[in-house]
């Protein structure tokens, strides 16, 4: 900056000397010479010097920028190396920890396996599943237990014969000591064991007897023996119809049996509704389908427990 201030002063001095020289020549009566071309030289020199200074400054700035960039690159490289070294250290620590954990797990597994192999046989036996419970005892239906049986097929002494099949079913559940032996609706089958038609003989006493010999229970069909007999009025004596082998008061509906004494627990219905009433149809006895009779068992019956 100081060089630029001094150079204009030199240029001014040279111009002044040139003017004085021209005046001196003019005073001597001579024609002045053309202005020397040298007056333009100082301006060109100044410009060249300024360009050189600018170039030097630019080169210096570029060199400084290059050094700064080089320094920044070195710092970045050093920092990258530090980061990589830190990552390598952490990876090494993680690998050591994983190896230690694996070794500890292997040691623990080996200890557990050793302990399991050394366990006493009694403990292994205790882990076995328990045996299933024993089946319940059978149900025993005592002798004398009344069965409420509904006739499914009708029986008529006019057209039936000894040995004909009779179909029936339980009118109510058969329960012994709180255990169900046979539900209502279970099939009961039997045969005609007596058939006397009054229309085939003068003054004869019509009668019919049925023996039930099979009962479907909770464990399947079982053999039974339960008999019912009905007798009609004779043609000559006009005897009142009566039922032999059944309860005079009527059949038991919804009964339950106690095996201690064979007693019947439940209500009784009227005889007309519960018993098959002997009907005189020209000297014959007819038991209509749907008739319910109360028939006692001749002997005890055993049913598998459910």
At 141 the three-state DSSP class reads strand
* CATH class belonging to 139-303: mainly beta
Is residue 104 scored above 80 in pLDDT? yes
Q: What is the model's pLDDT at position 106?
A: 87
> How many alpha carbons fall within 13 Å on the CB side of residue 88?
6
Q: What is the model's pLDDT at position 131?
A: 83
Running DSSP on this structure, what letter comes out for residue 200? G
User: Beta strands 174-176 and 252-257: pairing type?
Assistant: parallel
Q: What is the model's pLDDT at position 204?
A: 64
Assess contact for 254 and 301: CB atoms under 8 A. Answer: no
CA nearest neighbour of 149 among 226, 208, 220: 226
pTM of the model: 0.47
pLDDT digits (tens, 9 = 90+) for 165-216: 999 999 999 999 889 999 999 999 999 999 888 765 555 688 899 999 999 9
pLDDT digits (tens, 9 = 90+) for 33-65: 555 555 545 678 888 888 888 988 999 999 999
Higher-pLDDT residue of 124 and 88 is 88
At 91 the three-state DSSP class reads helix
pLDDT digits (tens, 9 = 90+) for 246-261: 443 334 344 454 445 4
Assess contact for 7 and 44: CB atoms under 8 A. Answer: no
CA nearest neighbour of 231 among 286, 158, 270, 189: 286
pLDDT digits (tens, 9 = 90+) for 56-98: 899 999 999 999 999 999 899 998 999 989 888 888 888 888 8
């Amino acid at each position: 900056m100081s060089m630029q201030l001094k150079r204009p002063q030199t240029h001014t001095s040279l111009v002044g000397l040139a003017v004085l020289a021209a005046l001196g020549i003019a005073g001597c009566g001579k024609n002045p010479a053309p202005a020397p071309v040298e007056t333009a030289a100082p301006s060109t020199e100044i410009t060249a010097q300024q360009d050189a200074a600018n170039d030097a400054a630019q080169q210096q700035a570029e060199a400084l920028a290059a050094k700064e960039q080089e320094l920044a690159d070195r710092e970045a490289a050093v920092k990258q190396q530090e980061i990589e070294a830190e990552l390598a250290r952490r990876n090494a620590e993680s690998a050591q920890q994983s190896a230690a954990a694996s070794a500890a797990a292997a040691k623990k597994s080996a200890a557990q396996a050793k302990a399991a192999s050394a366990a006493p046989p009694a403990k292994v036996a205790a882990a076995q599943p328990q045996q299933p419970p024993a089946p319940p005892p059978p149900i025993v239906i005592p002798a004398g237990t009344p069965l409420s049986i509904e006739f499914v097929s009708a029986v008529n002494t006019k057209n039936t014969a000894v040995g004909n099949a009779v179909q029936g079913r339980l009118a109510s559940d058969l329960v012994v000591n709180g255990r169900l032996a046979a539900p209502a609706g279970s099939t009961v089958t039997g045969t005609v064991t007596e058939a006397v038609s009054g229309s085939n003989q003068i003054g004869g006493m019509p009668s019919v007897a049925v023996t039930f010999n099979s009962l479907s229970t909770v464990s399947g069909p079982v053999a039974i023996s339960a008999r019912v007999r009905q007798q009609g009025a004779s043609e000559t004596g006009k005897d009142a119809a009566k039922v032999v082998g059944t309860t005079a008061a009527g059949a038991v509906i919804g009964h339950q049996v106690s095996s201690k004494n064979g007693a019947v627990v439940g209500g009784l219905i009227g005889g007309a509704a519960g018993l098959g009433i002997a009907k005189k149809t020209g000297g014959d006895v007819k038991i209509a389908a749907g008739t319910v009779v109360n028939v006692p068992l001749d002997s005890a019956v055993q049913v598998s427990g459910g």
